[in-house]
Homo-oligomer: A and B are copies of this chain.
């Protein structure tokens, strides 16, 4: 044995987040994930319960990394006010999604929420992140809502490539959004 199954699963999940992020659930063959992970397609099917099981597990890994980054970001807040903590969390999130895998994966997951298992995984992810944000920052409902609204705006900016659009309407939408 070169590796344990559990270690392989971690490798595969990292590859899966990256590959699914680009081409989405239905358009990416599991051969692509297997190739990115450096193992055979057959073994991926032994490690996960079908392509859907792999995608759902990848969603879990994706939100794990997001939650972890936001928690770490909160520690670096300049002060104790809700505004300062939310700002630190937002900055940490912006840094994290600089490579775009985690952001694009979320978009892909939202697109296949007609599959109940995916919808539940998405809810579980946001449940974890949103409850943490609210309790850690001691922010109002409206502040939490705003935090996520502008997070979702980032999804549009990145998927549509609006940072590259010099026109005024695109500048308005991207103004002040941290360096994606």
**A-to-B contact residues, CB < 8 Å:** 22-27, 107-108, 110-114, 119, 122-123, 126-127, 130-131, 134, 141-142, 144-146, 148-150, 152-153, 155-156, 159-162, 165, 167-173, 175-176
Residue on B nearest A126 in the bound complex, by CB = B160
Residue on B nearest A110 in the bound complex, by CB = B159
Known: A111-B107, A130-B173, A175-B142. Is A123-B24 also a contact (CB below 8 A)? Answer: no
A-B residue pairs, 10 tightest by C-beta:
A111-B111, A152-B152, A26-B26, A130-B169, A141-B172, A149-B153, A149-B149, A26-B27, A110-B159, A113-B159
B123 touches A160 (CB 8 A): yes
A131 proximity list for chain B (CB < 8 A) = 168-169
Interface of A is mostly: helix
- The CA of A26 and the CA of B127, in the complex, are separated in Å by 29
A165 proximity list for chain B (CB < 8 A) = 123
A24 proximity list for chain B (CB < 8 A) = 24, 26, 111-112, 114
A25 proximity list for chain B (CB < 8 A) = 27
A26 proximity list for chain B (CB < 8 A) = 24, 26-27
Known: A22-B114, A23-B114, A149-B150. Is A126-B175 also a contact (CB below 8 A)? Answer: no
A126 proximity list for chain B (CB < 8 A) = 156, 160, 162, 169, 173
Known: A26-B27, A126-B169, A169-B130. Is A152-B145 also a contact (CB below 8 A)? Answer: no
